[in-house]
Amino acid sequence: METFQKLDDFLNFAWAQISRGKVDKKSPARHPTFVTSNLDGFPKARTLVMRRSDRKRNEIEFHTDTSSSKMFALEENSHAGIHIWLPKVQLQIQMDVDVEVKVGDITIPNWRDVPTNSRVAYGTIPSPGTVIASPLAYDHAPDQKRFAVLVCHIELIQLLLLGNKHIRAQYKKATNWQGEWLSP
Ligand SMILES: Cc1cc2nc3c(=O)[nH]c(=O)nc-3n(C[C@H](O)[C@H](O)[C@H](O)COP(=O)(O)O)c2cc1C
């Protein structure tokens, strides 16, 4: 089991795990939980596929349907949470992010990279979350105009590593990621 004495080493370890989300289909970092503050006042959590991570730019990217409820939530409040649990290394990663929503022509380069059979996720009729009469009473009409890129700008990363002695730390963009230990 890993343990860390230095804040930087702990953060480097976490970023190595986050980066696997894009390249390793089996890594749990591929499927973070993305949490928004919904309009009804209840936080809403759902699984998304991590499409890109960039430590230098402090960014995590997701793709979604412009008609999904998370888009309306983000319009009201661009602050969101990301949660990842990595059981093999016993690491929990929590992030506070500010979400930049990209829609329209600016997403065309991203859309070109979406495999044809994956495009069905963007353009479901009726819109995701609409009540329907029976389980399959919906259709797919893949549409680049229904494709949104969510660029999550990371403001805070909090890590919890379970071990004989748990260790916990947080890192803020505002303090240039210098980090501080927390009581677990
Ligand atoms: C393994 C898994 C991966 C998913 N990946 C995505 C994704 O990349 N983008 C997305 O919009 N929804 C994805 N979903 C569906 C979402 O969890 C969610 O049901 C959908 O986006 C509607 O969310 P909303 O109504 O809360 O906005 C995924 C679900 C699962 C179980």
Name the residue of 37, 49, 99 whose CB sits within 8 Å of the most ligand 1 atoms, as the mutation to test its pocket.
49
pLDDT at 14: 98
Name the residue of 68, 101, 122 whose CB sits within 8 Å of the most ligand 1 atoms, as the mutation to test its pocket.
68
**Cα 37 to ligand 1 centroid, rounded to whole Å:** 16
Name the residue of 34, 48, 72 whose CB sits within 8 Å of the most ligand 1 atoms, as the mutation to test its pocket.
48
pLDDT at 1: 62
**Average of pLDDT values for 94-123?**
96
Domains and CATH numbers, the chain: 7-125+137-182 (2.30.110.10)
Cα–chain-centroid distance for residue 166? 25
Neighbours of 88 (CB within 10 A): 9
Distance CA 122, CA 7 (A): 40
Give the bridge partners for 64, in sequence order.
148
Half-sphere exposure of 33 (CA within 13 A, CB side): 12
pLDDT tens figures, 29-71: 999 999 999 989 999 999 999 999 999 999 999 999 999 999 9
Distance CA 80, CA 98 (A): 6
pLDDT tens figures, 160-177: 999 999 999 999 999 999
The verdict on the CB of residue 68 being under 6 Å from ligand 1 is: yes
The verdict on the CB of residue 43 being under 6 Å from ligand 1 is: no
pTM of the prediction?
0.97
Residue 115 corresponds to which tokens in the numbers above? 């495999």
**Average of pLDDT values for 83-106?**
98
The verdict on the CB of residue 69 being under 6 Å from ligand 1 is: yes
